Chain A
């Protein structure tokens, strides 16, 4: 690159070529066999499995912002399958099994780390509920153990197990196969793989209404015009109510802010994932070194992607009680996402009251861990026009029949 001064790039200005894009950025076609509304983890996984498992490749994923920029970018990346009921164990354990081979499946690194999860018990009732859940998990083939406080300390030496605190640790359930993954990489991996199979990923395309004729959905109205669709699969998390209302469909959902935060980068101090219902915080340490924390939702309905600071304050005081070593850590950043919460803290996945329209919503605070599993089952539901056996219990009808799947306890987050 020798040349006269003034034609040479400035020192350090000699930048490498931009790496290859992971997916195309196509213009929308006039119509698709399937339109997935929402380009988060669930939408991308659904599109991928539609193409991979069912050979349906004339598919578009419509995302109003940028890909995976909603809750997929805002969650605390915890993956586990230790829910109480058989229905939940079915879909979450299916998901965990898919996580275990997802890097190979997508041929993309996702930093999946099975570092285990501790769910702490702080009262006699907690202990009874936790031991019951361990037994239920084992009967469902989900790995689970009950640990004494001393054993908790062996798994995670920085947990304060002193009896001399307001909510002492009486023990914990432990799922060794649980863990975390890098959420952005998961989304990019699915997006890249779906794109390679022919799926159109269309960003900055907001669905503003559903086109319905004779009781069946025939397309979607967007800010880029109307796009025809043989089938429409909603996967819009906190905004599902807004989209469904356009089709006159009521859903038992309430949208709330859910906040999370990270600390500055610290050396590795936290080897696992710790969750506490009673003291109410959940903490892991990201690969890069931030402590990642979350707690409960803000109680009021909201779409503003921000919450109140006293929620953050409580969550940090809870974390300090459990982990005195965090006392000198600084908060780097807090943020909020919008989660759609159902009355029984379980999702709604299945058919809608309008023909050729499908529902995937109500994951509330726990959707990330389900990404591969729900993508798999939802794609089956859309492809066959009937629920996959693993999501059949999560129908909208359960709120009429009363066959609820009450996971308020194992959801580990106050709703």
Chain B
């Protein structure tokens, strides 16, 4: 069980949160201009590092806000 630091509510139990995957994946500015490969990259491909990973979390059973943090995917240590 992880203790996840919600920027607004403080450290809370992992079970209060929803996971949102990799952070910083922007919707393409002009989707129609993308090739099939580029669209597939946007739609299906996400980083999957062993180590520090910048990711999205939602405090869905609390303040319901989304935020990003960096977590080590091996140790679950929250780095920032």
Seen from chain A, the residues whose Cβ lies within 8 Å of a Cβ on chain B are 239, 241-242, 245, 250-255, 299-304, 308-310, 340, 343, 399-401
Contact = CB atoms under 8 A, between A and B. Distances in A.
Contact of A303 (B14, B19, B43, B50): B50
Given A255-B48, A400-B40, A401-B36, A301 B15 contact: no
B50 A308 contact: no
Interface residues of B, number: 25
Contact of B48 (A253, A308, A309, A399): A253
A301 B53 contact: yes
Nearest to B15: A310
B74 interface: yes
B1 A303 contact: no
A307 to B, nearest CB: 9
Contacts of A399: 40, 43-45
Interface string B54-80: 010000000000000001011110000
Interface of B: 1-2, 14-15, 18-19, 21, 36-37, 40-41, 43-46, 48-50, 53, 55, 71, 73-76
A400 B15 CA distance: 35
B45 A250 contact: yes
Contact of B50 (A242, A251, A254, A401): A242
A177 B18 CA distance: 38
The 4 closest A-B CB pairs, nearest first, are: A241-B48, A299-B19, A252-B44, A400-B40
Contacts, number: 61
A401 B36 CA distance: 7
Contacts of B44: 252, 343, 399
Contacts of B76: 302, 304
8 contacts: A250-B45, A255-B48, A301-B55, A302-B76, A304-B76, A340-B48, A343-B43, A399-B44
Contact of A308 (B15, B21, B36): B15
Contacts of B37: 400
Nearest to A305: B74
Contact of B73 (A251, A304, A400): A304
B41 A250 contact: yes
A299 B50 contact: no
Contacts of B40: 399-400
A242 B53 CA distance: 13
B73 A254 contact: no
Contacts of B55: 300-301
Nearest to B4: A300
Contacts of B18: 299
A197 B33 CA distance: 53
A304 B1 CA distance: 13
A250 B44 CA distance: 11
Given A250-B45, A300-B73, 18 more contacts: A241-B48, A241-B49, A242-B50, A245-B49, A252-B45, A253-B48, A254-B21, A300-B55, A301-B73, A302-B74, A303-B73, A308-B2, A308-B14, A310-B14, A310-B15, A340-B48, A399-B44, A399-B45
